[in-house]
A and B are shown apart, each in its own frame.
Chain A
C-alpha cells in the first residue's frame, strides 16, 4: 500500500502559480535594471556593461531638468509625509483613544476617502478646486494634494500599531501621576514609534510615486520625477530613463525594506 503524507493543505499547482506570479512581478523590473547598464544607445541591442547612462543622468544634456525634478520630488515627499504622519497620528489617537462618539465612523470614512475615490477623479476635482478658487498651480498645489492622499497611507500602520497597545499603559502612567499630555508623550508616543516610522515611510514612497494627481495639479514648467519620466517616455523609452527608473526603484525598495525590518524587529520584541 502506498505510503506518504496526504496533506490536505497542499493543492497541486499552487506553488508553481506562486512562482509564476513572482516571475511576472519581478521580470520587468529586472530587465529594466539590467538594460540601464547597457553601453549601447539603442534599447534593443546589448553592447556590454557600462555606467554611461547614469553619468548621462547627472551630467548629460537633460541633467538640469532631472535634478530639478528630483529635488521637487524629494522635498515634496519629505514635507507631505511629515505633515500627513502628524495628522494621521493625531487622528488615530482621537479615533482609537477618544471613546465612542458620533463622528467616529464618519471621521474614519473621511480619512480613508482618498483610498476609495479613483485617483483620476481626485486629480480632476483638485485641479478644478484650485482653478475655482483662483489658486495658481505650482509646487504648493502639488504639496497640498500630496498631503491629502498621504494621510490614509500614514494612518493605516499607525492605527494598526495603536490597536495593539493596550490602554492600560497610559492608565498606569496616569496612575503614577502623569498628566494626559505626559501619558501621551512619554508612554503612548514612544510605544507608537515603529508604527509612526512605517507610516511616514509609506507616505513618503506614495508621494514619491504619484503621477496622475501631480500631473493634473502641477503648474506649467514644474516637474516631479514621475512627470518628467512620463514626458520623456512619450518620446520613447531611452536608456537614461531606465537609469533614473532604476535609481528611483532602488530608493523605494530600500525604504520599504526598512519599514518591513522595523515592523518585524518590533514584532519579535
Chain B
C-alpha cells in the first residue's frame, strides 16, 4: 500500500494527563486502512480525548500516534492529512456552503476555482448541490450535518474522524444517516474513526468497535463479539440490556462451567479463560435470549413469579422475581410467537435459556 504498513492509525502506549487527572491510561490500538472503526463509551471515558489526539488538538503526554507507520505526534492539526466532522459541525457561519466545503482545498494551495469545483462534486455526493450558495444557518440540522461531512471529505483525507456527528439529529434522521455514512465509507475507501456513546449506533455501523471506559479500552472486537461475548461487567452492562447475576462456579467440565446462584438455582454455561472452580463472579443473561414457560422445559429452568409486564413497542419486557433470588428481566418480541410467552402478573413461571444466553464475566 502507500507506505510501510497497512495500518492507517496506530496508537502506541498513549497516555494523556491533565495535571493530576489521567484521561487516557496507556492505550494501544491499531486501525486498519479502509476500516470503519468506532470508539464507544460513556461520556468522560476518554474516547473524545483519543480522537482529538489523533486530530492534533491535544498533545500526547506519553506514547505516540502513527499514520501509516509515520509518527504524527508534534505535527499541528493543519499538517495532518486527517479531517474531522465536529460534534456540532463547526461550519463557518460567515461563509457559504460551497466556500465551507472548499476551505480545506484552498488551504492546501488549490486555486479558488479548483476548490469550488471539487467542493461542488462533493456536495453532489451528499445531495446538497442546490444549497451551495446558502449560509449554514439557512440549512436544517441534517443538511448541516451533510455539509460538515462534505467539508471533511473534500480534501480527500487519509483518515476521517467523526466526533458524535449524529447526536444532534432526531432519531429517524440519525438512522438514515447511519446507513448513509456506512455506504459513504465503503464508496470512498477512507478509514473512518467514529466516536459515539450510543451502542446501537456503534453496532450498526462499525467493522470493529473499541469499548472504552475510565481511560482504558475494555474490549476490542467486531459487533457480534462485543455483544455476544462481553469480556467484563462493564462491557456487558454498557452494551444492550442484560441481567447481571452474582454466581459461584462449582466446577468446570469439558469447556462448560456449572454455577449456582442464591436460592439454590443452578445454571451451566460456556467456561471462560481465567475463571476457575470456586470463583464468585458475575454472569450476564441477555433478556431477549430468555423465554418463559408454564412448565420447565429443561433441567435448569429457573422458577420465578411475574411481577409486571411493560409494553415497549417492538418488545414486551417482563420483570420477574426469582424464588429467593434477585429481580430479573425477560424480553419477548411483540409477535404472535413472542406474546404467547407472556404471562399475567402473579403467575408462577419458568425461565428458560437459549443457547449462549449466559456468559461469565471477569470481575
The chain A residues found within 8 Å of chain B, CB to CB, are: 1-6, 8
Within 8 A of A (CB), among B340-354: none
The chain B residues found within 8 Å of chain A, CB to CB, are: 56-60, 71, 73-77
Rank and list the top 7 A-B pairs by shortest CB-CB distance, nearest first: A6-B76, A1-B74, A5-B59, A2-B74, A3-B74, A1-B71, A1-B73
B57 and A4 contact, CB distance less than 8 A: no
B300 to chain A, nearest CB (A): 57
A6 and B77 contact, CB distance less than 8 A: yes
Please measure, in the bound complex, the distance between the C-alpha atom of A3 and the C-alpha atom of B56, giving whole angstroms.
11
B12 to chain A, nearest CB (A): 13
Contacts of A8 in B (CB 8 A): 57, 77
Whose C-beta in chain A lies nearest to the C-beta of B59?
Answer: A5
Please measure, in the bound complex, the distance between the C-alpha atom of A5 and the C-alpha atom of B76, giving whole angstroms.
9
Of the candidates A2, A4, A6, the one whose C-beta lies within 8 Å of that of B56 is: A6
A5 to chain B, nearest CB (A): 5
Whose C-beta in chain B lies nearest to the C-beta of A1?
Answer: B74
Contacts of B58 in A (CB 8 A): 5
Please measure, in the bound complex, the distance between the C-alpha atom of A1 and the C-alpha atom of B74, giving whole angstroms.
6
B73 and A6 contact, CB distance less than 8 A: no
Known: A1-B73, A1-B74, A4-B59. 16 other contacts (CB 8 A): A1-B71, A1-B75, A2-B74, A3-B59, A3-B60, A3-B73, A3-B74, A4-B74, A5-B58, A5-B59, A6-B56, A6-B59, A6-B76, A6-B77, A8-B57, A8-B77
Whose C-beta in chain B lies nearest to the C-beta of A5?
Answer: B59
Contacts of B60 in A (CB 8 A): 3
Contacts of B77 in A (CB 8 A): 6, 8
B82 to chain A, nearest CB (A): 14
B70 to chain A, nearest CB (A): 10
Contacts of A1 in B (CB 8 A): 71, 73-75
Contacts of A5 in B (CB 8 A): 58-59
Please measure, in the bound complex, the distance between the C-alpha atom of A253 and the C-alpha atom of B139, giving whole angstroms.
49
Residue among A2, A3, A6, A8 with the highest chain B CB neighbour number at 10 A:
A6
Contacts of A4 in B (CB 8 A): 59, 74
